[in-house]
């Protein structure tokens, strides 16, 4: 990234043309607003304007540098109050020093000419602080607007990913394959094990209820997702029996949270892409390690798999990206397929 691109990111816009035009214009306007008492003719005006050009350039560049530093220190749009407070304090101090120095230099330079054309220090301070206020407001307003716009775009992307996840979750649960397999299992259970059939229907209703109730949530407590997962696993085990082995760790962080339906998607992905048989049972593990939730399954790819919807893992990545700076890690080795989910706490739900 070039320096101009970095400046553009920190300031919210490319201000080169703004400075190129703004500095001379301000220098020419200042004598008419603040120093009319010592402007006697055009030569005196141009002398004061030249003095003002140096003063304006020094003040502008200094305030700009301070604003860039504060943008690095307080990058979030919600930190605008902190930025403005520090901008005022630092800019006032900087402008006071610069204004004093430039005035003294101007007096020395003008001793052999006309010292009366050197602007009064108090008036110089007034001009400086008016310019400081205007520049600070302009830069902060533009940056605030750019950050707000970026946040709005990211929020829209999150909403789209959230809706896509809802649709994917519903599609996985109500697609003809799932319904056919569930009804097939239920048909077998009713005459052979009526009590089990009743429990199967109860667990099936819990799965549907969870999908519908979690559709408006961006994150939920991990424990809530694990309770849903137990119902989902019950349905899967009725279909695959001991060929599907699930191990859920007992040491789970009570304050941990998760994006809804993430575990269901990962289980669905594992079942869709791997062989499940008596000779090759599929083992899926869910556990926590170093604050991260890990889902790992044995890797035994099918020769032919159903076409992917393209949502799956990418959907999970996108939704987590909107919630945390940490990324979803996917590791495929010869033995295992592992997904490492970023740490999210219940506090993030607020």
Note the pLDDT tens digit of each residue in 41-89.
777 778 777 777 887 888 888 888 888 888 888 877 677 788 778 878 8
Give the pLDDT of residue 286: 95
- Mean pLDDT along residues 125-137: 73
Instruction: Report yes or no on whether pTM surpasses 0.85.
Output: no
Q: Which of 207-211, 277-281, 312-316, 322-326 reaches the highest mean pLDDT? A: 277-281
**For residue 295, pLDDT beyond 90:** yes
290 three-state secondary structure: coil
**For residue 276, pLDDT beyond 50:** yes
Give the pLDDT of residue 299: 93
Would you place residue 119 in the very low, low, confident or very high pLDDT band (cuts 50, 70, 90)? low
Q: Which of 164-173, 186-195, 202-211, 286-295 reaches the highest mean pLDDT? A: 286-295
**For residue 31, pLDDT beyond 80:** no
Would you place residue 162 in the very low, low, confident or very high pLDDT band (cuts 50, 70, 90)? low
CA-to-CA separations, 248 to 48, 229, 263, 270, in angstroms, rounded: 78, 10, 11, 15
Give the pLDDT of residue 315: 78
- Mean pLDDT along residues 194-204: 84
- The torsion angles phi and psi of 23, rounded to 5 degrees, stand at -60, -50
DSSP 133-149: HHHHHHHHHHHHHHHHH
Q: Where are the chain's structural domains?
A: 3-153, 175-349
Q: How far apart, in whole angstroms, are the C-alpha atoms of residue 7 and residue 139?
A: 12
Burial letters 177-207, b for 16+ CB under 10 A, else e? ebeebbeebbeebeeeeeeebeebeebbebb
Give the pLDDT of residue 281: 94
- Average pLDDT of the chain, as a whole number: 78
- Mean pLDDT along residues 198-223: 83
Give the pLDDT of residue 115: 47
Domain 175-349 has CATH 3.10.50: no
Give the pLDDT of residue 165: 62
Would you place residue 111 in the very low, low, confident or very high pLDDT band (cuts 50, 70, 90)? very low
Q: pLDDT digits over 228-267, tens only?
A: 999 889 988 888 889 999 999 988 888 899 988 889 889 9
Would you place residue 347 in the very low, low, confident or very high pLDDT band (cuts 50, 70, 90)? low
Lowest mean pLDDT among 54-68, 121-135, 211-225, 245-259: 121-135
Nearest residue to 90 via CA among 116, 76, 69, 105: 69
Query: What is the DSSP code (8-state) at residue 284?
Result: E
Nearest residue to 164 via CA among 2, 310, 279: 310
The answer to whether 283 and 249 have CB atoms below 8 angstroms apart is no
Give the pLDDT of residue 169: 55
Higher pLDDT, 306 or 300: 300
**For residue 282, pLDDT beyond 90:** yes
Higher pLDDT, 166 or 320: 320
Higher pLDDT, 56 or 160: 56
Could you tell me which residues come within 8 angstroms of residue 271 by beta carbon, excluding any fewer than 6 positions away?
A: 236, 244, 282
Q: How far apart, in whole angstroms, are the C-alpha atoms of residue 341 and residue 327?
A: 8
- Residue 42: how many CA atoms within 13 Å on its side-chain side? 0
Give the pLDDT of residue 321: 81
- Mean pLDDT along residues 205-210: 83
Give the pLDDT of residue 280: 92
Q: Is the dihedral of CA 46, 51, 54, 57 positive or negative?
A: negative
Give the pLDDT of residue 248: 93
Q: How far apart, in whole angstroms, are the C-alpha atoms of residue 64 and residue 91?
A: 9
The answer to whether 340 and 292 have CB atoms below 8 angstroms apart is yes
Give the pLDDT of residue 66: 85
């Amino acid at each position: 990234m070039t320096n101009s691109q970095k400046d553009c990111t920190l300031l919210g816009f490319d201000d080169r043309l703004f400075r190129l035009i703004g500095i001379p214009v301000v220098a020419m306007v200042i004598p008419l607003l603040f120093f009319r008492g010592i402007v006697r003719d055009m030569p005196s005006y141009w002398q004061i304007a030249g003095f003002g050009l140096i003063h304006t350039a020094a003040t502008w560049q200094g305030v700009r540098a301070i604003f860039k530093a504060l943008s690095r220190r307080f990058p979030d749009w919600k930190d605008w109050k902190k930025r403005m407070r520090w901008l005022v304090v630092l800019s006032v101090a900087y402008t006071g020093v610069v204004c004093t120095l430039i005035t003294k230099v101007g007096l020395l330079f003008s001793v052999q000419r006309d010292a009366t054309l050197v602007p009064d220090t108090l008036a110089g301070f007034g001009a400086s602080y008016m310019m400081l206020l205007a520049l600070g407001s302009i830069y902060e307003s533009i940056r605030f607007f750019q950050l707000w716009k970026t946040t709005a775009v990211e929020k829209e992307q999150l909403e789209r990913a959230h809706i896509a996840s809802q649709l994917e979750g519903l599609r996985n649960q109500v697609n003809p394959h799932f319904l056919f397999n569930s009804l097939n299992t239920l048909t077998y259970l009713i005459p052979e094990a009526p009590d089990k059939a009743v429990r199967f229907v109860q667990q099936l209703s819990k799965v549907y209820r969870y999908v519908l109730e979690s559709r408006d949530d961006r994150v939920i407590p991990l424990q809530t997702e694990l309770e849903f997962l137990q119902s989902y696993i019950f349905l899967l085990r009725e279909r695959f029996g001991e060929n599907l082995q699930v191990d859920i760790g007992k040491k789970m962080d009570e304050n941990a949270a998760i994006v809804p339906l993430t575990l269901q998607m990962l289980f669905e992905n594992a079942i869709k892409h791997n062989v499940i048989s008596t000779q090759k049972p599929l083992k899926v593990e869910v556990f926590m390690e170093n604050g991260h939730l890990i889902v790992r399954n044995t890797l035994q790819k099918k020769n032919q798999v159903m076409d992917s919807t393209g949502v799956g893992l990418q959907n999970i990545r996108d939704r987590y990206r909107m919630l945390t700076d940490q990324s979803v890690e996917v590791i495929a080795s010869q033995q295992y397929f592992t997904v490492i989910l970023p740490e999210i706490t219940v506090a993030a739900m607020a």
